[in-house]
A and B are shown apart, each in its own frame.
Chain A
Amino acid sequence: MLDPSDIVSALEAAGFTHLVWIPDSHLGTWEPALRSSRLAPIRVCREGEAVAIAAGLLLGGAKPLVAIQCTGFFEAGDAVRNVAHDMKLSLKLIIGVRSERAARAGKSGDNCPKFAEKLVQAWELPHTRFDPAEGDATQLVTALNTLAMSVTASAILWAE
């Protein structure tokens, strides 16, 4: 499993300026590493807000990354639709897919993995997958650089 400090270093190296997020039990492990990071964390109350804050950051010339669990991504659909397709801003998301590893092993009936993929496709977000339990730091840097350089809104589905 990649160390949170490696993950935060990779987020910084990819050129993101702000992390707009709500921690879950996996993404939340980044918090100690974020305290000493130059990446400015912005804590919100609900995931649609994170998407709209990112829109304001993008309008003003910053390079934000939104990190949210898929459950919140489901709730944030209208904000994603608006920012990615009405405003055509290059929204970048890491979407934590709850129970993905357990579902792959046949040990979870959680329907989050099934709907996360479908909803990302429904909102026409180009996406890649990354599993911090299997990928190494080099693969993460590659995935984040690809995300950061994409000219359209796009996402990484992050296995939890």
Chain B
Amino acid sequence: MMTHRDALEVLACVRGEQVVVTTMGSVAIWPQLSDSPLDFHYLPSSMGQGVPLGLGLCFSQPGRGVIVLTGDGGLLMNLGCLVTAAQFRVPLYIVLIDNGLYEVTGGQAVANASHTDFATIARGAGIPRVYDCGSRAEWETVAGEAITGSGPVFVCLKVQGELGKPTPTAPRPMAEQVARLRSALGAV
């Protein structure tokens, strides 16, 4: 099984000019791999709202892809967002980091940990392209295809749960992040 870092390293190799929205544990790793003005670390956040935020970015920036890195705990707080996203043909790429844990709160298990089939849920919600990867090799094979082209797309990446990781902090204050992203998008 791949690590969370493996999953993000593969993504960093294939990411183009898409906006990348990170949440929770990914906020700690992604800045080590990328420092693009199109990176937006959604922290402080409202847990579960990363995917809707990315969908809103898709509407306001037609044609620009938006990749949202979400955890299973966050997605479980807002599963309806998959149904909402499925209504629209927008380049939204939802990358689920499925580690079965609330990693940043000490590693407690999420509800029904490791028994929930998120890929099937995404298909059932009507997401037209769904990928389900259990190893780094599988993810490397499909990553380039998965985060380009028509969307929405759902990618489930099963990763090792890791305990003892510190609570992440964003590399910049929220006000600076908002200004930086808006400038990069020409939205100021």
Contact = CB atoms under 8 A, between A and B. Distances in A.
Interface string A29-70: 000000000001011111011111111111111101000000
Residue of B47, B52, B81 contacting most chain A CB atoms (<10 Å): B52
Interface string B145-188: 00000000000000000000000000000110010011001111
Interface stretch (B56-64, B93-101, B114-122): B56-64
A57 B59 contact: yes
A48 B46 contact: yes
B60 A57 contact: yes
Contacts of B28: none
Interface string A99-121: 00000000000000000000000
B185 A61 contact: yes
> Dominant SS at the B interface?
helix
B60 A60 contact: yes
A78 B57 contact: no
A86 B44 contact: yes
Nearest to B55: A53
A58 B53 CA distance: 10
Interface in A81-104: 81-83, 86-89
Contacts of A88: 174-175, 178
A62 B61 CA distance: 9
A87 B178 contact: yes
B178 A49 contact: no
Interface of A: 18, 20, 40, 42-46, 48-62, 64, 78-79, 81-83, 86-89
A92 B178 CA distance: 18
A125 B1 CA distance: 47
B52 A59 contact: no
Residue of B54, B66, B78 contacting most chain A CB atoms (<10 Å): B78
Interface of B: 40, 44-50, 52-61, 66, 78, 80-81, 83-84, 87, 174-175, 178, 181-182, 185-188
Contacts of B87: 43
Contact of B52 (A18, A53, A86): A53
B33 to A, nearest CB: 22
Contact of B55 (A51, A56, A58, A87): A56
Nearest to B49: A52
